Structure 1
């Protein structure tokens, strides 16, 4: 199968957009050039002078299967990610049953094999059933395909448990990926503790609930030599202690979510579950610290923490709604519109944070759009705007406060292993010219 992507633009080494054509043969990039004989190709995609880039990589999504398929499934979650330009996603293990044995983990892997439209890597938990202090058999789960270990959704509360898990992960050359949350500091909070919480008369969550556990874990990571990755960093204190740990030589990486970069607690308009996420939207100074942390390299990558819930669950007060926001289908678009078009980030930086760095920090295959690389590609319309419309979501969920927002960068095509898995509103790819 020979496929031509013509009239595309790629990011050059000096951050310019240059015209390019890509020859995809089977599942690899076969050639890159200015012009090819179109008669050589079975299929032609006209990129119409839009951005062609490597497929995005999201190291933090919730696919909800098994156990919570009324919220999302592996099929719908992977389709939603493909609509956003993601070709690789990493799925969290807060499922029912938790994939804490080889048998359970293999069952999830089989659903992924059958239903996923892109590459889905499955996390294994750190402890059995997530909330226990009993460690899983990391060696066996590694052999079964676990690429990293996390209890995302809850923090590991006991330092001794985390220490032993880190020692085992270091032996297995796998990362410990941490949802950092000291539950003794939550005080039944549902949003960031600040003026907006007081205004809405809602209990607040102090920043130290996150940062204090990160500080603990950084010392344990230094002791054990493990690769320690922090999920969804949200506070200025967290950025500060991670920066200090990196300067001290601790093997720590971390991610930030688009919603924490774009919004602060003062932007919350009402007491509604669409604004409820964990960690919560924090203060303006935290938001600035996250942006600065990306720019100075303290924060390594951007991840969505795509967390779908049913409309019934989220369409209620902070006090009753579950934590979580969907983000797979418009994450790149939010970042591009808000930061690239305003000159705060460069397009090359965003691609680095959303495609290259996530792969590098977890030792995944890195696609640099070179000849021989796997043809995991995305084409984005960066010249025209569109409106975020939940009726067009491929996810089963719509829990986001960004509905109705005007964005640039809609995904025109997503290719996985050289095959079209998403195309501009038509999953069947009818806009591509097949011969």
Structure 2
């Protein structure tokens, strides 16, 4: 099967891309061939397929929120061709049998490439480390208890040693439960003003400091999920300066929003980690710009309408992000002139591929898998929940005017959006 994408824009040039048997075989100013399929990009930008190392597809067990099918279609709509699925479904992916079933289900139901995480410990909260070696052998991309911090240092230490032995990363949701105190938003002036219980930023940075000591002792690749505080950025900066094998991600909402913007009890502004202070947000942006933070990841967390209504006290944590991430980053960082497009693509393609050692994610090169996206970067559009393919509509960015609309997404040469 051959596909020709013509009239695509790349580096201010108009090019054509020839795809054969799922791989890019030529990129040139003009390609003369009788391809079976021809796609006219109409001078829109072509970019490599985006990679998101942090998504929740809720399947199995919570499919009223999302399914692998809807989550993967939403990913394609957002320009993502490879995603990493978290293990906090029902049952939790914490043993080889359920892991193998999860991988098979991802392949059967997904329209994009889905890598699967496995849990660090049983049911995400037990102190007993899972069968890391066997699940690594079955293809686990890494190990994480996302949604829960690992509360016992020895549990994390043992997991790190095992993960190091099989050359897999530990991906940490850093959160010390003893410092949460029932918080539903960041502890600070905004929480005090609204009369809502606050969550100390120490809950993140204190556990991160512990984990970095353990990671240094074990040599494991330690990846920090959804970093959110200025103290965490500084700890990460020190660790990298010491040559530690540590990487980190930041979510678009922590780059673009902070707790000073929470002017009322609004469940759409409730996520974990919470939106922090303006000073924290500034530190996250600085950390991303100087390379302390390696990548942008969405933490796509769909919920039902009912779960995101009422008060922040009772509403679920989390927002959707897979369909808005690129447009938000492009609009606020590239369109604004803060960085160029390639830098944004480093955050959302190159750096995730490098950090996690991906071999099958295409980077828009001859010989690579034909994972690519046609993007309209020139016309402003409105973020509208009615356009979402995800079951979740829970986003504080609905109504925003942005640039960077997905026209078409190809995975291994197959058009999936």
TM-score between the two structures when normalised by the length of structure 2: 0.98
CA deviations over 1:23-81 (Å, ceiling 9, x no partner): 111200010101122x5111111111111011000000001011100100111011101
- Give the conservation status (yes or no) of the 8 Å contact 1:311–1:398: yes
Match of 2:266 in 1: 272
State the 1:395 CA deviation.
0.3
Q: 1:241 aligns with which of 235, 247, 251?
A: 235
Equivalences, count: 416
Which of 92, 99, 109 is equivalent to 1:98? 92
1:77 aligns with 2:108: no
CA contact (8 A) 1:90 1:120 kept: yes
Equivalent of 2:56, from 42, 58, 62?
A: 62
Please, which runs of 5 or more residues in structure 2 have no aligned partner?
Answer: none
Contact 1:356 1:367 in 2 (8 A): no
Q: Which runs of 5+ in 1 are unaligned?
A: 12-16, 423-435
CA distance in 1, matches of 2:362, 2:293: 21
In structure 2, the residue matched to 1:86 is 80
SS in 1 for 2:381: strand
Tell me which of 150, 155, 178 is aligned to 2:149.
Answer: 155
The 5 Å alignment of 1:95-244 reads: 95-244=89-238
Which of the residues 246, 249, 268 maps onto 1:252? 246
Displacement after TM superposition at 1:367 (Å): 2.9
Q: TM-score, normalised by structure 1?
A: 0.94
User: Which of 333, 354, 365 is equivalent to 1:370?
Assistant: 365
How far residue 101 of structure 1 moved from its aligned partner, in angstroms, is 1.2
CA distance in 2, matches of 1:277, 1:345: 27
Aligned-residue RMSD, C-alpha:
0.9
User: Aligned partners of 1:136 and 1:316: how far apart in 2?
Assistant: 37
Answer whether contact 2:363 2:371 (CA < 8 A) is retained. Answer: no
- Once residues 10 and 299 of structure 2 are traced to their aligned partners in structure 1, the CA distance between those partners, rounded to angstroms, is 28
Corresponding position: 1:308 with 2:302: yes
Q: Does 1:325 align with 2:319?
A: yes
Q: 2:20 aligns with which of 14, 19, 25?
A: 25
1:292 aligns with 2:293: no
Report the secondary structure of 2:114's partner residue: strand
Once the two structures are superposed, what CA deviation does each residue of 1:213-253 show, in whole Å capped at 9, x if it has no partner? Answer: 11110010000000000000011100000000010111100
8 Å CA contact retained: 2:221, 2:246: yes
Which of 372, 375, 380 lines up with 1:380 in the alignment? Answer: 375
Does the 8 Å contact 1:375/1:416 carry over to 2? yes
C-alpha separation in 1, matches of 2:106 and 2:148: 24
Question: Following TM superposition, by how much is the alpha carbon of 1:166 offset from its aligned partner in structure 2, in angstroms?
Answer: 0.4
